[in-house]
Structure 1
């Protein structure tokens, strides 16, 4: 028994030494980051901005590979097959914690992923056309309660954070809205501007439309007022106990050595101070949001559980 214990200790020490040695030389070739969305969107823009800033910190090129599909889970599915050496990583949007509760998937967001760090968060905003009679969320909710199903709202699709936000508002208030899913924010914005629907729920893509007066914002689903939407009340401020966290982070395959994770999380933190990265945050109206690996791993487990409870408890039409 003592010999076996000693052998296990030696093996563990050897593995630790190997991981430290690997991290010392890491990276000695380009690193690939998967963006699980099509090119041109905010996630792609911010993923590329992070990649450029990380390349300065790591001293190697960072290659962005777009893999849209599977509700933002293509990156997680990809790294399940990747070697845990830090050369193939993925962005991890919040939707990966919700999707397993919606349909059968080929990944476990807690067991199959090594979370490195978050670098930004999205904020959802409930909007109406500028000539809408609704000037507050309360007015919208009161009308929807008196006229069930008459208020149509658009989102980029079923089970998106945008959809969850309105479903949660229904549950909290007893109001009844009618969901109209679209393929993306641009289609939804056009539908609101064209008066095809009465309400649009967007992420940060609506910022320029709100600034120009083409959309009126009623509330955000953030836990506190984001700088980009500083004049807009949150749902909590409006009297509804709802916030929808939606951070985006960086992750690798399970088994990624601690030393490499530490190196990468520190690089992400430093990259977030890069002037070009900061510029893209401002231009795209998204918030910087940093969690290190330990905090992000804890958040992932809690978020996965929370999303299951939300999906189970809501009627998502």
Structure 2
């Protein structure tokens, strides 16, 4: 049987729309099963805490479980690579962090973080605290700079590991002030015993894990590292008040694999924005001193791009690429 050319074109056009309609219907009903949210730093870490809070909130809003998977190792790259290689269907997501921006320049990895992920939304930004052992006589950033300049190479700057955000924040401080601080990397939380005994002199530590030491007087907080002061430590200045242009913070947001359908990205983005605007959710993050982010996928993509550029300058200045 012969088919008229016009009829054939109608049939071809209809056939071409079927996959698109199928994808649209799938996105409209998403999620129909549990979503896996991967974080790369382990149970009890700040990323784990944020992942569980946003996962619970998204579960309440979207009607499906968000299963948090801790895939720690390689400063977050094990979790990141698993998501990069996952099917772009919205059922495996990544809690992206500042470590991803650092790793993009510092490490040789098998993927391009900017090219191979689909930004969904930022969740929260959290300051670090520039803190010193009480034996250090400095009570302000300016006094610390003067103290360290008089002792080149003799002031120990602790970090939670080479290439960690705590390390890079200190390296940026060194670059911007011209100080010669001696970097001493520790394994994660082992940095706190070193700081408590005075073996380590200064540390750019996460606010969440540092706040109780500061409140107890074990450490002296000289500054927070975000652009503005933290409501948790309102009397502690922002480091940028003494070192103009300085900003280093932990940030967290959701990403999926590249080619995740736009409709799914938008649905998740809307749910994240509703979550971060919820006073209950904000209260849950209050003890971290965090500032909620939200915004469009484009906003989060810009944050990631800006952070990669910023940390690449620090990595190159310190010749730290591995």
Q: TM-score, normalised by structure 1?
A: 0.90
Alignment partners' CA distance in 2, 1:213 and 1:9: 72
Rg larger for: 2
Alignment partners' CA distance in 1, 2:16 and 2:212: 54
Q: What are structure 1's unaligned runs of at least 5 residues?
A: 1-5
Is the Cα contact below 8 Å between 1:51 and 1:62 reproduced in 2? Answer: yes
Is the Cα contact below 8 Å between 1:109 and 1:304 reproduced in 2? Answer: no
| C-alpha spacing 1:233/1:8, structure 2 compared with 1 (3 Å) | farther
- Give the stretch that moved more between structures: 254-263 or 201-210: 201-210
1:91 aligns with 2:91: no
Q: TM-score, normalised by structure 2?
A: 0.89
Q: Deviations over 1:232-274 (max 9, x none)?
A: 1112111343111431111111110111000001111122244
Q: Give the deviation of 1:145 after TM superposition.
A: 1.4
Q: Deviations over 1:112-136 (max 9, x none)?
A: 1001011111211110123431111
Query: What pairs up with 1:93-112 in 2 under 5 angstroms?
Result: 93-112=97-116
- Give the stretch that moved more between structures: 156-165 or 46-55: 156-165
Q: What are structure 2's unaligned runs of at least 5 residues?
A: 1-9
- Give the stretch that moved more between structures: 74-83 or 260-269: 74-83
Equivalent of 1:262, from 243, 247, 266? Answer: 266
Q: Give the deviation of 1:9 after TM superposition.
A: 9.2
The CA RMSD over aligned residues, in Å, is: 2.4
Q: Show the counterpart of 1:3.
A: none
| 2:114 alignment partner, SS class | coil
| C-alpha spacing 1:181/1:66, structure 2 compared with 1 (3 Å) | same
Alignment partners' CA distance in 2, 1:307 and 1:9: 48
Q: Give the deviation of 1:296 after TM superposition.
A: 0.8
Q: Show the counterpart of 2:198.
A: 195
1:238 aligns with 2:231: no
| C-alpha spacing 1:270/1:174, structure 2 compared with 1 (3 Å) | same
| 1:63 alignment partner, SS class | strand
Is the Cα contact below 8 Å between 2:239 and 2:247 reproduced in 1? Answer: yes
Alignment partners' CA distance in 1, 2:36 and 2:148: 47
Q: Show the counterpart of 1:46.
A: 50
